[in-house]
Amino acid sequence: MRIYSRILGTGSYLPENRLTNADLAAELALQGVETSDEWIVDRTGIRARHFAADDQGSSDLATEAARHALAAAGISADDLDLIIVATSTPDMVFPSVATMVQNKLGTAGCPAFDVQAVCSGFIYALTIADAMIQSGSVKRALVIGSEVFSRILDFQDRTTCVLFGDGAGAVILEASDQPGILATDLHADGKYKDILCVPGHVNRGGILGDPVLKMDGQAVFKLAVGVLEDTARASLAKANLTDADIDWLIPHQANIRIMQSTARKLKMSADKVVVTVDQHGNTSAASIPLALDTAVRDGRIHRGQTLMLEGVGGGFTWGSVLLRY
């Protein structure tokens, strides 16, 4: 009999400090950088973002999200067999955020590691956890996406600094004989490294290269709309399902225009797309579990429904997870 990975519970966390577009525009104006609520909403759909406090790292946000997911699942951290954190903004070069989360949750022993696939990180992490559950080696996994992108933004660059925010989202997966994750699809193409990257790195006690996010927005946009359709179709084909079987599309939350375009290509109406980018901007690996948790908690997503989760980001990386909730 096939072993499935079922979502037992979800959770998320956004830091307290919330800046609307108007708040951010006012702060940027003080540094001579001009932007407006109108431009940001028009081009991206973003209305607000949250920034972590100086003493909060990805592991703190991840731990909060994990606590909510554990409570929703009705299990304790000691019940976990695996912890994976998807992040591109770890607290330290090493150890991993996942081991810090494990410790902050007050448990020890189970394997814990990070996955770095930028905005597709949560899809990658979920796929790895699913494979480990299907193999029988793991029964319960905590999978988190957590980011503090505010730390790697160049606030002199209005083409990027208005787009990103901080946050975390988490799911608890459990082995089950009932359908859960139905199909997964992952891809990468390293030739696109320069269109979305943070080129700086630690070198002999200093930073070599520019340690802030660089993005060619239009190039990313064009690539994203193509691969998001392709990967959704690939997962559907693997599960012998069609577009019409998807109840909810939960895409990476970067830009409302990319999400609407993907929905059109999949012949889905806009009201079947979970959109939270307006409330937290692009939170990279955290965006998909943040959107998922929001729609679970507000009652839109019901048990038995079919969800298409999909992401695209730096690398380039992209992929999808099709699941029965």
Residues involved in catalysis = 119, 252, 282
Figure out which of the listed residues 43, 104, 139, 297 binds ligand UT7, where binding follows CB under 6 A: 43
Q: What is the DSSP string of 139-203?
A: SEEEEEEEEEGGGG--TT-HHHHTTB-EEEEEEEEEEESS--EEEEEEEE-GGGGGGEE---EEE
Rounded Cα distance between 51 and 222, Å, is 28
324 binds ligand UT7 (CB under 6 A): no
Figure out which of the listed residues 313, 320, 322, 323 binds ligand UT7, where binding follows CB under 6 A: 313
Q: How far is the CB of 122 from ligand UT7 (least distance, A)?
A: 12
Task: Tell me which stretch binds ligand UT7 (CB under 6 A): 39-47, 88-96, 169-177, 296-304.
Answer: 39-47
128 binds ligand UT7 (CB under 6 A): no
Contact predicate 281/49, CB 8 Å: yes
Rounded Cα distance between 206 and 201, Å, is 8
Closest residue by beta carbon to ligand UT7: 217
195 binds ligand UT7 (CB under 6 A): no
Nearer residue to ligand UT7 within complex by CB, 165 or 180: 165
Q: Classify the C-alpha dihedral 73-3-187-116 as positive or negative.
A: positive
Contact predicate 189/220, CB 8 Å: no
Q: How far is the CB of 94 from ligand UT7 (least distance, A)?
A: 24
Chain positions contacting ligand UT7, by CB under 6 A: 35, 39, 43-44, 119, 158-159, 162, 196, 217-218, 220-221, 224, 254-255, 258, 282, 313
